[in-house]
Chains A and B, each alone.
Chain A
């Protein structure tokens, strides 16, 4: 019987929700939560241990987290390593990627995880590890875990890996020399493609060039006299959340006056709070300036380092937010920035 180990975050590891996101790494013998599902799906292998770490702990103390987790594994025997699935959770995706990559480098065993295509962890780690194409929420757990387990079974049995598209993981950009079943030579294939291209027919390149979506760097500004705007994806809103911005997967944003305000009042002042569901709100509710640093920016305005602060700040929630929605909201906000001739923006994320 082969042995596997599974990594889960604090939520799926049944430690707790966002309030436990700072949870330091532990190892548990046996199965936790979705580990049972994975264990049942494996043919000739069992999950012997579960690693659990809070997403924020991993995000903020990566080196320490990885060192501890690898330390736990040092005296364990295992043939394969799993993490997640992370669905569309960005911090969890980052954590799964970080630990899978580290485990692969140190112990040289296959590592497998699963993420939704909009999880930033995909682009960060797809070249290093097997990341299966997963669903956007935990409702897809069974489906995603099944794909991961089936591929794990395959690797453990030493069966042939048929490549990213056939297996269902994100392409790693690795070229593997194979004998094609159709025995068509490259010269024939490239001529076929060329003819199709000339005839405006669809064809599939064998060497896709990854599209890096980069934007030209905006020029430096002169701070002297500049008007600076504050934007946050950390969900800081007036306490009654007048625009009903969603706590995750937001499609709405708000524009709130800070004219004449020295700093943001807090929740108990009945002023501002956070509605972001992706982190523990205690600190931001107690002092929203730690997310939207109006007080510090006012100080620089007073000192004359900058000209002025734009009279409004803009807020949405950046957890689970689809890229397309983020883009649209940005375009809507930009209209206001241009109207008021804002020179530059400080955008804070949580």
Chain B
């Protein structure tokens, strides 16, 4: 799905937990999430902490969209 969107010329960032799979499939811009059932907020942590994590990682994803890259890139969180 990511590849088709990118092929259409729309810049895309994939937020995923299994980054090795995203790399193999061929995503170009990637941002890691923290787990499969709760990618952007661990329900065992307070709401404020979940929000902080989600706000931060979505920010990294936006910056990834604004960054020129030469190769598949996993952006640091």
Contact = CB atoms under 8 A, between A and B. Distances in A.
What is the predominant secondary structure among interface residues of chain B facing chain A? mixed
A56 B38 CA distance: 11
A215 B51 contact: no
Contacts of B62: 223, 228, 300, 305-306, 346
Contact of A222 (B12, B26, B66): B66
A343 interface: yes
Interface stretch (A148-156, A158-166, A177-185, A325-333): A325-333
Given A220-B66, A293-B54, A305-B62, A56 B37 contact: yes
B21 A124 contact: yes
Nearest to B52: A296
A43 B26 CA distance: 41
B36 A56 contact: yes
Given A215-B26, A330-B4, A347-B1, A295 B54 contact: yes
B54 to A, nearest CB: 5
Nearest to A287: B41
Nearest to B29: A217
Nearest to B68: A220
B13 to A, nearest CB: 6
A120 interface: yes
B8 interface: yes
B: contact size bracket: 35 or more
A305 B60 CA distance: 12
A123 interface: yes
B22 to A, nearest CB: 7
A344 B43 contact: no
A240 B69 CA distance: 41
Nearest to A120: B21
Given A90-B21, A296-B54, A348 B16 contact: yes
A291 B15 CA distance: 10
Contact of A21 (B13, B14, B26, B37): B37
Interface of B: 1-18, 20-22, 24-26, 28-29, 33-41, 43, 50-51, 54-55, 57-59, 61-63, 65-71
